[in-house]
Structure 1
Amino acid sequence: MGKFAYDKALSVDFDDRTLAHLQIVIGMKQRRGESFYFSWKDDHAVGDGRTAIWLHPPIPLVYKYYGSRLPRIDPEWVRALEMTANTNIGLQVVDEPAGPAGGASSAPGAAPVTNGAAS
């Protein structure tokens, strides 16, 4: 389980594999100087709602991985995430595509997501 920290105000848990894919897409957008929304469905433990944040290049982001191995990157999943990031709604966590490069169709794209104030 990895952590995505946003401007010292918010810390969100994603599994390491999901977080690695999000990092790639967010990095691609920010390298181009693009600002955009990023939203996800919250876990039941934090209210089962949705959270959306505005990502802008100067806002500090931290990606904390708890596993020691780099996750396998699925280019199709990166493309699927990037497609959502290029919409008016912004980046949304979508399931990893099934198939040879993707995970099994039963494997969720996002592990339970919890958020709370960063320490």
Structure 2
Amino acid sequence: MATLIYGPSDVPIHIDDRALAHLKIVIATKLRRNESFTLSWKHPEGEPGGRSTIWIHPSIPLRFVFDEPEPPQISMKWIEQLVHSANSSGGISLVDEVLDSAEIESTGAGA
């Protein structure tokens, strides 16, 4: 489980490593353009239920901490979904990765 550390808060935000790697790409792109936006997610298992939203702004410190030493393979389809939500009025909604049948067969997940 990776960790997103945002601003001066000492409360870590726990997100799956693969999901955070994809979010990092979208967030970095938005911040490079000096764009502010919201990021929303459902709380992971093992934490109190519910969901959270934070306001992401270029002036607020942000740190991505990954448990895995190697970056995962990036899904352009997932990046596109996240970018689409990032450009909406609701901001980024962290959604689960959707694999099409060809991706499932190539990863062996369908076997």
TM-score after normalising by structure 1: 0.79
Which of structures 1 and 2 has the bigger CA Rg? 2
| Structure 2 spans left out of the alignment, 5+ residues | none
- Which structure features the higher share of helix residues? 2
Is the 8 Å Cα contact of residues 76 and 101 (structure 1) preserved in structure 2?
no
**1:3 aligns to what?**
3
CA distance, structure 1, for counterparts of residue 55 and residue 68 of structure 2: 27
Tell which deviates more after alignment, 44-53 or 1-10. 44-53
The alignment of Structure 1 onto Structure 2 pairs a total of residues equal to 105
Q: CA RMSD in A?
A: 2.0
Which of structures 1 and 2 has the larger relative contact order (alpha carbons within 8 angstroms, sep 6+)?
1
CA distance, structure 2, for counterparts of residue 44 and residue 71 of structure 1: 22
CA distance, structure 1, for counterparts of residue 44 and residue 18 of structure 2: 18
Give the ranges of 4+ consecutive aligned residues of structure 1 lying more than 3 Å apart after TM superposition.
43-46, 100-104
TM-score after normalising by structure 2: 0.84
| Structure 1 spans left out of the alignment, 5+ residues | 107-119
| Superposition deviation, residue 97 in structure 1 | 2.3
Is the 8 Å Cα contact of residues 15 and 44 (structure 2) preserved in structure 1?
no
